[in-house]
Amino acid sequence: MQRSCTSLVGRRQLRTRGFCSSSSRAANTGGDDKIIASVVFERLPVVIPKIDPVVYAFQEFSFRWQQQYRREYPEKFLKKSDARGKGDYQIDYVPAPRVTEADKTNDKKSLERALDRRLYLLLYGTAYGSPSGKPTWHFPEKVYESEGTLRKCAESALQSVVGDLSHTYFVGNAPMGHIVAQPSDSNQDLPSFKRFFFKSQVIATNKFNIGRCDDFVWVTKDDLLEYFPEQSDYLKKMIIS
């Protein structure tokens, strides 16, 4: 299956804006253009990211510098401190591996990979505005109809894919950004529309039953930009991680 698609909206003229102040303002845009609610569904890092070598070297230097001027405690106090943690209640802690089987096999359908990074859900299937109705990679989406707000429309879009929103959390009521798509000179038949992006996060689970698509992947931000090369600059600014 081809990894990168033409774009989120096909080859057409785009006007992008980074932020929108409210869902009600976004819905009341006027005109006959369709409004699309897309969901940037992310899994937050599970483990602490590795420290950058430069930062680690600075912390090591700072520790050694502080050791030169540290306060010396009485010997009796130090011996009591060393005795703590001994006894039947002591537990040998063995940290879990940072590299999982999903990392080794490059299983992009699993959430148990890239534990120190954010992962984003992409679907492969028919998306609104795709050229000739061909399947493309896209975020979960839904055309705005009679929902009370754009956020409710975004919730419906995600619910149609994962089936249950009990392990999801929508960050705020306003979209995090939007794209205005208009037909280009070479593709006058393609519809014009406005796509609003909402952020949602995975909560307390490591598996979803993804449906209503031909395929899906969980990708890092670097991989995400490769799927959408024409919108990489905009997505890089919109998705901060």
CA nearest to 13, candidates 231, 237, 226, 197: 231
Q: Which 3 state secondary structure label does DSSP give 144?
A: coil
Classify residue 34 by its DSSP letter.
E
DSSP labels, 165-234: -TTEEE--SS-SEEEEEE--SS-TTSPPEEEEEEEEEE-S-S-----SSSEEEEE-HHHHHHH-GGGHHH
Residue 142 confidence (pLDDT): 96
Condensed to tens digits (0 to 9), the pLDDT of residues 71-127 reads 777 777 666 656 655 555 566 778 888 999 999 999 999 999 999 999 999 999 999
The DSSP element (H or E) to which 15 belongs, if any, is strand 13-17
- Written as six digits, the tokens of 36 are 């699309």
123-141 pLDDT, tens per residue? 999 998 887 778 999 999 9
The pLDDT of residue 7 is 52
Give the CA-trace dihedral at 123, 129, 131, 132, to 10 degrees: 100
pLDDT band for 174, please (50, 70, 90 cuts): very high
Closest listed residue to residue 103, CA positions, set 111, 92, 93, 94: 111
Over range 164-171, report the average pLDDT: 96
Say how far apart CA 212 and CA 195 lie, in whole Å. 20
